[in-house]
Amino acid sequence: MADYNAFPRSGTAAARSAAIDEGLRSYMNKVYSLMSIGMLVTAVTAFGLNQLAIGADGTATELGRAIYFSPLKWVLMFLPLVMVFAFGAALNRLSTSGATLLFYAFSAAMGASLSWIFIAYTNMSIVQTFVATAAGFAGLSIYGYTTKRDLTAMGRFLMMGLIGLIIASIINIFMGSGAMQFAISTLGVLIFAGLTAYDTQRIKNTYLELAGSDSEFLGKTAIMGALTLYLDFLNLFLFLLSFMGQRE
């Protein structure tokens, strides 16, 4: 719980409230900064790896054949998932700087696993979808931060929907249904749009509950918040890309 004794003892509730508000702004700025850097690392890694994997003539280089057409592609695909679970397990044992480096390493691994989008879609449609995602994400996150409505019940409903979405996606790997993929993409956009608002409110409330705690601990919660919003943004982008992306 919050240790309000850590804030100035001016004898007024207004002074304590101002200190909390200032701390919250700093905390949220850190969350968004970490998330933005992570997204930049992902984009640079994905684009850079694709440039090395595809030659000027449009054919795969030796590296491209290795990462796109050999069993190594499965390693790249599942490495980010393994790292997410490892991140959660190792967070308490890591320093804030160590956790930050692990987050950036995860972002790079995610970029490597997503480099294929530059083969499947035109560069212009990827950029357009990214801009649209950024605009939508910003609006949803602002809503989650400013709304007085408690989004907890909505968050639980969305998490159940996410589980169903994952199951449906796995089933459709074997079915290969275009109609089912369209439905999955539609639900994916709606679910991650809602989760963006919900997670932003949850991150804000986490700080308000822990305000005045050890700075090292708050630093780690900020990294976890950045990871959560990063995943919301990335999934929202990928589902939107399935609608807006123009195939090569």
Output 130-139 pairs: Cβ under 8 A, ≥24 positions apart: 130/43, 130/237, 132/240, 132/244, 133/233, 133/236, 133/237, 133/240, 134/233, 136/193, 136/236, 136/240, 137/196, 137/232, 137/233, 137/236
Query: Higher model confidence: residue 212 or residue 125?
Result: 125
Q: What is the pLDDT of residues 234-243, one digit of tens each?
A: 999 999 998 8
Give the count of domains, the chain: 1
Distance (Å) of CA 11 to CA 21, 83, 208: 17, 47, 20
**pTM exceeds 0.95, yes or no:** no
Residue 14 has pLDDT above 90, yes or no: no
Confidence label for 18 from pLDDT (cuts 50, 70 and 90): low
Q: CA 215 from chain center: how many Å?
A: 23
* C-beta separation of 137 from 196 below 8 A: yes
Residue range of the domain that includes 27: 4-244
Residue-level pLDDT at 66: 87
